[in-house]
Amino acid sequence: MNMLVPQAETLVKGLISGLDGTEEVDVVVAPPFPSLYPVGRLLRGSPIALAAQNLHWEASGAYTGEVSAKMLLDVGCKYVIIGHSERRQDFGETDETVNRRLKSALSEGLVPILCVGEVLEERKAGLTWDVVGRQVRQGLQGISRRDAGRLTIAYEPVWAIGTGETATPDQAQEVHARIRRLIGELYDEAVAQGLRIQYGGSVKPDNIRGLMDQPDVDGALVGGASLKAESFLGIVKF
């Protein structure tokens, strides 16, 4: 929940200018709902895609305060973040509602970014994979092989979000590799190898290279560092 429309527009203009022909990286921005339409207009014809931070699973109706997949498509979204840790922790998101949102996004052609991750107490208790594995399995319940191949999974250890703490590259790689193996078990090796798995959690220009050097880390879900063009571009162009 950052930036008013003029600030968001200024940021995006800086990103478009700073990318300047960069084509080997897919770049996506996810502003708050009020900025989606004006930012989407600026992004037309640029190499940057638009994402929303959430959506409701119903197409329309008496769901005050919610937005649907069709509404997001209407303002130019290609991607949507689903199950972010803050939605799970602060707004009652569950594996079941994440699954329903995921199915809605996929049915309308949006590309979901499914977020999974454990809190500090769970990591200390040795429950990282119990939590992450459950979130992946239940999030993908009833999702077809074809649709599974279209989504992105973002591993975000909750203890590393906004804390300055970052999972070490080895810690990130361990969980990413297990997620990929699980996708292979749920679907097949082709889906597993084609799946993008991002790391999210205090990603900055000075730690992105170590993370991206890991074989199963395919990208980054960037938080605070995305609020300034200079730092975000430093991550994109690492």
Is residue 196 packed enough to be buried (19+ CB in 10 Å), middle (13-18) or exposed (0-12)?
middle
Structural domain of 230? 5-236
Among the listed residues 161, 227, 149, the one whose alpha carbon sits nearest the alpha carbon of residue 189 = 149
Percent of the residues in the chain that have a pLDDT greater than 70, as a whole number = 100
Q: Does the pLDDT value for residue 162 go beyond 90?
A: no
Catalytic residue flag (residue 84): yes
Radius of gyration of the chain (CA): 17
Domains in the chain, number? 1
Which of 56, 84, 93, 122 is catalytic? The answer is: 84
Catalytic residue among 93, 118, 156, 176: 156
189 is catalytic: no
Q: What is the reported pLDDT for 117? A: 96
- Predicted confidence at residue 165, as pLDDT, reads 73
pLDDT tens, position by position, 227-237:
999 999 999 99
Mean per-residue pLDDT for 123-151? 96
CATH number of domain containing 45: 3.20.20.70
Q: pTM for this one?
A: 0.95
